[in-house]
Structure 1
Amino acid sequence: IKKLLLCRDNEKILSRDNDKHNQTTKEMIARSCATIVTHPFHVITLRCMVQFIGREAKYSGVFDSIVTIYREEGILGFFAGLIPRLLGDVLSLWICNMLAHFINTYAIDDSTSHTGEIKNCSQAVTGFFASMLTYPFVLVSNLMAVNNCGLAGGLPPYAAIYPNWLHCWSHLSREGNMSRGNSLFFRKLPAGKMYAIEQKRFF
């Protein structure tokens, strides 16, 4: 009888694992499609914010921005920084869902009180942890969205010019800036770097 009960429990756990895997796969596809569709507006939003660095007015509205990007960069300009953003979203989703699933399935006893609150808390904690791990993808995506777009904030001395997102990743990693801007309140100076005020960059 005990063996039968153990077999049934194992089957239930495997069934839960498969259901979670299928659910996460569907959610990944839906989120990826949504990211692709909305990314052009994400690019426009970032460039509208970055132009404040140089006190520019190149991107003054949605329709004007669409015309400007298409005229200067073509269709690909609307999808600058898309690949690292997609990768970051997918990794964050899988890390968050799988960690929360394993914690809720194997670490939390369903017979205890406040099980629902504990599971919600674990989902929030794993989501925060996943966002920290995948932040470099967000950073690289944002930098590539404004890279060499004609705005002062996307050009030297404020930012380097990158041929592709892998080069941007390599440069940030080499400079120790993969977590740049990750904290709203605590900013850190890269190790061994000095900031030149006149040239507005680290050395």
Structure 2
Amino acid sequence: MADTCGQILLGSGLTVLSHPLMYIKVLIQVGHEPLSPTLGRNLFGRQVYQLPGLFAYAKHIIKIDGKVGLFKGLGPRLCAGTIGTVVHSKVVQVSLKKNKYKSSVAVDCFLSFPQTTKEMIARSCATIVTHPFHVITLRCMVQFIGRETKYSGVFDSIVMVYREEGILGFFAGLIPRLLGDVLSLWICNLLAHLINTYAIDDSMSHTGEIKNCSQAVTGFFASMLTYPFVLVSNLMAVNNCGLVGGLPPYASVYPTWVDCWRHLSREGNMSRGNSLFFRKLPAGKMYAIDQKRFF
């Protein structure tokens, strides 16, 4: 119980600190670009036109809504984090008791097939239970585009979603999110297992630190590979929900998440929002730059 409370407090603190970053990322994911591109330099030093990055976007939001505006959707996101931590912990505990594992196993890296399977089940349960709060969080953020106030408090937002879309509305975008989580977990643990088994010698000094570092690197790599699932999930969570940011002509209406995936693939926008700093101009869009039009 004490460990779970500690995880909740730590997770809540990290959520508050990272919320402005997620807010900006979500707005970029749905395609909201209120600022014109600027002339900058890429990694190779060449001058190119780039879309404004994290700090310029944050200044724009602060200019309109103040510093508090960077924390829209924080309430339901904190609820999701707290409930998710509890559910994940309970599922892991039940799994350990059922299979008669010692509690020390729970803190080991989930590199074996049985352990990865247990972690997958625990994460999936937490994702399913908390997805309604995730949907509300995203919709609170996307309201910035049309300046709506449709989703405000957590309880009012729950009533709003249920009244307009029924139970299914709470699970918009769930399937690609689950697929992304599962694939990310298996890719991360498989790569970490291969590195720890074949590239790291147990006789080396600081073996534990090296293995932890390798799993962090593989986790980052796995998240990059599965990012399209995150993007599609977030878009489907706000698609056709009555907000300007999820309706034509601002955004297309997708019957299924597969249609969304295909549309983004055709446009070459599967990595939209993945980077918040070096942001190249997407193909096929026009922007006003120095009274000219650039494609």
| Separation in structure 2 between the aligned mates of residue 150 and residue 67 of structure 1, nearest angstrom | 15
Q: Is the 8 A contact 1:81 1:145 kept in 2?
A: yes
Query: Do 1:84 and 1:137's aligned partners in 2 also have CA atoms closer than 8 Å?
Result: yes
Higher alpha-carbon deviation: 153-162 or 177-186: 153-162
Do 1:157 and 1:201's aligned partners in 2 also have CA atoms closer than 8 Å?
Answer: no
How far has the Cα of 1:158 moved from its partner?
A: 2.3
- Offset at residue 157 of structure 1 (A): 2.7
Alpha-carbon spacing, 1:189–1:174, altered in 2? closer, same or farther (3 Å): same
Identity score, percent: 92
Check conservation: 1:28, 1:93, Cα contact below 8 A: yes
Kept in 2, the 8 Å contact 1:157–1:199? The answer is no
- The RMSD of aligned alpha carbons is 2.7
Deviations along 1:67-92, whole A, 9 cap, x unmatched? 11111100000000000000000000
TM-score by length of 1: 0.84
> Cα gap change, 1:172/1:57 in structure 2, threshold over 3 Å: closer, same or farther?
same
Cα drift, residue 61 of structure 1: 0.8
Following superposition, the deviation at residue 197 of structure 1 comes to: 10
1:31-54 Cα deviation digits (max 9, x unpaired): 000000000000000000000111
The CA deviation at 1:58 is 0.1
Structure 2, unaligned runs of 5 or more:
1-114
Q: 1:201 to 1:62 in 2, by over 3 A?
A: farther
Picking from 133, 136, 157, the partner of 1:44 is 136
The one-character-per-residue Cα deviations of 1:167-200 (angstroms, maximum 9, x if unpaired) are 0000000000000000111212223542479999
Give the number of the structure with larger relative contact order, counting CA–CA contacts within 8 Å between residues 6 or more apart.
2
Structure 1, unaligned runs of 5 or more? 1-22
- Which structure's CA Rg is the greater one? 1
What are the superposed Cα offsets for residues 140-187 of structure 1, whole Å, 9 maximum, x if unpaired? 000000000000011123211111100000000000000000011121
CA contact (8 A) 1:100 1:123 kept: yes
Q: Equivalent residues in 2 for 1:30-179 (5 A)? A: 30-179=122-271
Structure 1 residues 82 and 191 mapped into 2: Cα distance closer, same or farther (>3 Å)?
A: same
Check whether the contact 1:81–1:165 (CA below 8 A) recurs between aligned residues: yes
TM-score, normalised on structure 2? Answer: 0.58
C-alpha distance in structure 2 between counterparts of 1:87 and 1:193, whole Å: 30
Cα distance 1:200–1:138, how it changes in 2: closer, same or farther (>3 A)? farther
8 Å Cα contact 1:147/1:155 also seen in 2: yes
CA distance in 1 between counterparts of 2:149 and 2:291 reads 23
Query: Residue 201 and residue 47 in structure 1: after superposition, are their counterparts in 2 closer, same or farther (change >3 A)?
Result: farther
Distance change >3 Å, CA 39–CA 197, structure 1 → 2: farther
Q: Aligned in 2, Cα 1:195/1:160: closer, same or farther, shift over 3 Å?
A: farther
Q: Is the 8 A contact 1:158 1:201 kept in 2?
A: no
Partner Cα distance (2:118, 2:150) in 1: 39
The 1-side partners of 2:119 and 2:130 are apart by 16
Tell me if structure 2 keeps the 8 A contact 1:157–1:200: no
Counterpart secondary structure, 2:280: coil
Distance 2:137 2:229 in 1: 18
